[in-house]
Structure 1
Amino acid sequence: MTILRLFCSLLLFTTLLLGDIEDKNTTSGNILSKTIFSVGGRAHLSTIFTSDQSTYFAGKIALDSKEKGKDIYANARESRLWTKTRTPTEQGILRTTLEIDFLGTKDGKADKNDYYPRLRHAFVELGSFGFGQTNSTFNSVSALDTISYPMDDTFVRQFLLRYTYDKDMFAFDISLEDPKTTLLDSSSSKIITKDELLFDLILRSRYYPVWGEVGIAFLSRKITHNSSIYDTKDSKYGYGINLSGRLKTFAMDDIRFNLHYGEGSGRYVAYGAFSEGVIDSEGKISLTPVYGGHLGYRHWWSHDLRSTIAFSYIGADNNLDVLQTGLDKVTKESYGTQINLLWVPVKNLLTGIEYAWAKREVESRESGSTNFFNLVLRYDF
C-alpha cells in the first residue's frame, strides 16, 4: 500500500499547498498561484471468459499438449487514479502527472480483492523537456480501439529523458530511456535480466495533418554480457524500427496500423514474449530478430456506438543453432484477431464486448490456440 499512501499524501499536500498559495499570493502575482490542479481517474470492471485458461499475450497462450480448462474471472484491477498540475513559468509551461492503477498483483484474496497499487506515470514536463516514468517514445503513435491489446503491441512504460519539438503538424522526439535487457541462457532456458551502462536512444518523427497521423521511431541500444564461467565479455549493437499511424476514411471511421522490426528490441514488443537475444555456450550474444504488426479498422455505427476489427502478428527468428534446451518454451510466432462492439450510453461511461482468437507456436513445433470473450464496464471521471 506504499504507493497508494504516497499518492494520497501527495494529493492532500498539493491541495493544501495550492490553497495556501492562492490565499497568500494571488494579489502579489506569485507565479505559483496560477497553478491549475486537477484529479481524476477511471473505474474499470472486466469480465473475461477463456476457453483454456490462457491469457491474450503472445508468450502465454497455452499449448494444446498442456492440460486446459475453461475459466471465467472478473476484476477491477485496471481502475486508475491520477493527479495533474499545470503552471506557467518564465521557461514555459510546467506540467506534472502522477498516475497509479491496481495491476501490482495477479490475484486478490478469496474474501476480499485487496489489489496493490502500481505506478503508471510520474512525469514532469517543462516546455519541450520531460523526465520521469511514462510511455516510451518507441511506442505506437495510435493505439487500436480494442479491449484486449494487439498480439504484437509495441508498448513499454519506463523512465526516460525526452526533448520534443512540435510545430505546424510536425513533431520530433529524442529520448534516453531505461537500458534494461533480457537475455536467454541457451543451456538452461533461464531469462537473465540486467541493466546496461548506456541508455537506450530513441528518435521519433510524427506528422499529423487533417487526414490522420503517422509516426516512425528508431531505437538504438548497446547490449552487453559478462560471463563469469568462461571469463568472457561480449557486446552487440541492437536496434529497432517502428512505423505506426491512423488514417481517416469515411465519416468518423479510420484505419490504424503498426509495423516493426528489430534485432535486440525484444522487450519493446509483445509484453516480454521475446528476449533481446541468446547467450551461447561460450558466453557470446546472439541477437534475436523480431518482427510483426497489426491492422485494424474502426467503424462508427452512430455517435455512441462503434466497432473495431483487427488482426495482429508477431514472430521471431530464434537461433536454433545456439538454443540447446527448452524449445517448448521459446515462442516462434503468435497471431490473433479481435472484433468488438463498444457503446457509450452517457458521457464518459463505456460498455462493450469483444471476441478474440489467438494462436501460438513454439520452436518445438507445438502450438496452441484460445478463444476469449471480454466484457468491460468503464467510467472516466
Structure 2
Amino acid sequence: MKTSTLALITLGLFSSSSYAAFEFDLGEDNKLKFGGYLKADVRHVSGEVPYRPFWIATGATGEDSSQTNFTMRESRFNASYTHGKVMGFVEMDFYGSDGSEAVVNNYDPRLRHAFIKYDNWLVGQTWSTFMPLTAIPETLDFGGPHVGEAFIRQTQIRYTYGGFQFALENPETTGADNKNDAIPDIVGRYIHKADWGELGVAALVRQLDSDGIDKTTAAFNLYGKLLIGERDDFRFQVNVGESGRYVAPGLTTDIIPDGDNSVPEETTAYYAAYRHFWSESYRSTLFYGHAETDIQNRERQMWGVNLIKQLTPHLWTGIEIGNYEVSDADADSTYLQFSVKYAL
C-alpha cells in the first residue's frame, strides 16, 4: 500500500480526539508528544432551524432565516507525557464561552480530555465507554449525525481486558435535581476486531433517584465499521433503551415530567454512513441519522454528503451539504459547509 494511502486512512476519523503527532524521546522510557489540528469552517445555514456550528438533536425552531459564519473553533491542541507504563493526556479546543465577533473574535478554550492511563486502567475525562469512536463517520459537520449517536465525554474509571471494557462513570441526572446522584453509571462494552473491520456492543445501567423517581434504567448500543474493498467502509450505530443524555444530545433529558410523575423515556436512535475513495486524493461520505422518543414523541433526522480532497498527507479541504429536520415540529434547515484542516 502506498504511503499516501496510509496517510489518508490515518487521517480518516477526524471527528474523534486527535492524538499527538510530534514525539520527543526524553530518555529512560520517557516521551513527550504534541498534536492536534487547525480547522477553518465556512458554514451557511438556511431554514426554520436556527444556525448552529454543528447539528445536535435540539428542537429549536423559528421563522425562516439564513446565516453564514466563519470560524476556527474546532481547532484543538493536545499533549501527552509517557513515563514507562504511565501516560497522561490532555486536550483543549475553543468551544468554550462565546467571544465578540464584532472586534477581536476571541473564544475561550475548553477542556476536552484529561486522563491518566496505567496498564489496563484509565482514570479521568474522555469519551464515555458507551460511545464507539470507531464508528463515527468522517464529516465536516463535527460529529456528523449526532441524532443517531451515543456522544458524551465525562470523567470515569475504566478497566480494559482484551476486548472487554468496564467503567464507572459520572452520574449526572439531567432534567431534575441531581442531589441524590450517589451511584455511578455502569458501562460494559465488548469489542471484536478482525480483518473485515470491527463490531461492538455495549450496555449502560444507571440508578435515577430524583423528583420522586427511584429506578434502575438500561440502554444498549450496537455499532460497527465494516471494510469494503481496499479502502471503503460502512459505519453504523444503533441505540435503544432509556439512554437519556448519553444518546442524541439535546433530544431528551434523563428524567421528564409525565402527568404528576417524573419518568425516564426510551430513545431509539441510529445512523448509517458509507465512505468511498474515488482516488488517492478524493473521498466522500454519505450519511443518515434518525432518533425518536416514546413519551414526548420527539423525532429528529439528518442527512449529508461530502467531498474531501487530500492536498498533502497533513492537509485536506472539503465541501459538505446536508439537511437537519425537527420532524415533530415540521421544520428543517439545509446547510452548506466548506472546511480546511491541517493535522499537526
> What TM-score results when the alignment is normalised by the length of structure 2?
0.86
Question: Out of 276, 290, 314, which is 1:313 matched to?
Answer: 290
Counterpart of 1:174 in structure 2 is: 166
Q: Does residue 42 of the first structure (1) align with residue 37 of the second (2)?
A: yes
Counterpart of 1:235 in structure 2 is: 214
Kept in 2, the 8 Å contact 1:54–1:62? The answer is: no
Identity of aligned residues (%): 29
How far apart are residue 108 of structure 1 and its match? 3.3
Question: Out of 189, 196, 209, which is 1:204 matched to?
Answer: 189
Q: Say which SS state the counterpart of residue 267 (structure 1) adopts.
A: helix
How far apart are residue 275 of structure 1 and its match? 1.0
Question: Out of 345, 356, 371, which is 2:322 matched to?
Answer: 356
Whole-Å Cα distance in 2 between the matches of residues 45 and 61 of structure 1? 27
How far apart are residue 146 of structure 1 and its match? 1.3
Cα RMSD, aligned residues only? 2.1
> What TM-score results when the alignment is normalised by the length of structure 1?
0.78
Larger radius of gyration: 1
Kept in 2, the 8 Å contact 1:123–1:131? The answer is: yes
Kept in 1, the 8 Å contact 2:244–2:264? The answer is: no
Kept in 1, the 8 Å contact 2:125–2:154? The answer is: yes
Aligned AA for 1:112? V
Counterpart of 1:273 in structure 2 is: 251
Kept in 2, the 8 Å contact 1:236–1:285? The answer is: no
How far apart are residue 281 of structure 1 and its match? 5.4
Kept in 2, the 8 Å contact 1:58–1:152? The answer is: no
Whole-Å Cα distance in 2 between the matches of residues 195 and 131 of structure 1? 23
Whole-Å Cα distance in 2 between the matches of residues 276 and 367 of structure 1? 25
Whole-Å Cα distance in 1 between the matches of residues 83 and 259 of structure 2? 56
Q: Say which SS state the counterpart of residue 318 (structure 2) adopts.
A: strand
| Change in CA separation of 1:368 and 1:240 when aligned onto 2, cut-off 3 Å | same
Kept in 2, the 8 Å contact 1:58–1:335? The answer is: no
Q: Does residue 111 of the first structure (1) align with residue 109 of the second (2)?
A: no
How many aligned positions are there?
315
Give unpaired runs (5+ residues) of structure 2: 1-23
Whole-Å Cα distance in 1 between the matches of residues 276 and 183 of structure 2? 44
Counterpart of 1:341 in structure 2 is: 307
Q: Does residue 134 of the first structure (1) align with residue 111 of the second (2)?
A: no
| Change in CA separation of 1:59 and 1:40 when aligned onto 2, cut-off 3 Å | closer
Aligned AA for 2:254? E
Q: In the TM superposition, what whole-angstrom CA distance separates every residue of 1:220-270 from its partner, at most 9, and x where no partner exists? A: 0000114xxxxxx4311111100011001122111100001011x110111
Whole-Å Cα distance in 2 between the matches of residues 178 and 280 of structure 1? 26
Question: Out of 57, 64, 71, which is 1:68 matched to?
Answer: 64
Whole-Å Cα distance in 1 between the matches of residues 178 and 316 of structure 2? 38
Whole-Å Cα distance in 2 between the matches of residues 193 and 108 of structure 1? 33
Question: Out of 51, 61, 67, which is 1:54 matched to?
Answer: 51
Q: Say which SS state the counterpart of residue 327 (structure 2) adopts.
A: strand
How far apart are residue 54 of structure 1 and its match? 3.1
How far apart are residue 85 of structure 1 and its match? 1.6
Q: Say which SS state the counterpart of residue 131 (structure 1) adopts.
A: strand
Aligned AA for 2:93? D
Kept in 1, the 8 Å contact 2:88–2:114? The answer is: yes
Whole-Å Cα distance in 2 between the matches of residues 261 and 145 of structure 1? 23
Kept in 1, the 8 Å contact 2:180–2:209? The answer is: no
How far apart are residue 143 of structure 1 and its match? 0.9
Give unpaired runs (5+ residues) of structure 1: 1-17, 27-32, 184-190, 227-232, 320-330
| Change in CA separation of 1:281 and 1:311 when aligned onto 2, cut-off 3 Å | closer
Whole-Å Cα distance in 2 between the matches of residues 347 and 353 of structure 1? 18
Q: Say which SS state the counterpart of residue 230 (structure 2) adopts.
A: coil
Q: Say which SS state the counterpart of residue 104 (structure 2) adopts.
A: coil
Q: In the TM superposition, what whole-angstrom CA distance separates every residue of 1:79-120 from its partner, at most 9, and x where no partner exists? A: 1111012221xxxx2111010001002453410121101001
Whole-Å Cα distance in 1 between the matches of residues 281 and 72 of structure 2? 24
Whole-Å Cα distance in 2 between the matches of residues 96 and 196 of structure 1? 28
Kept in 2, the 8 Å contact 1:333–1:361? The answer is: yes
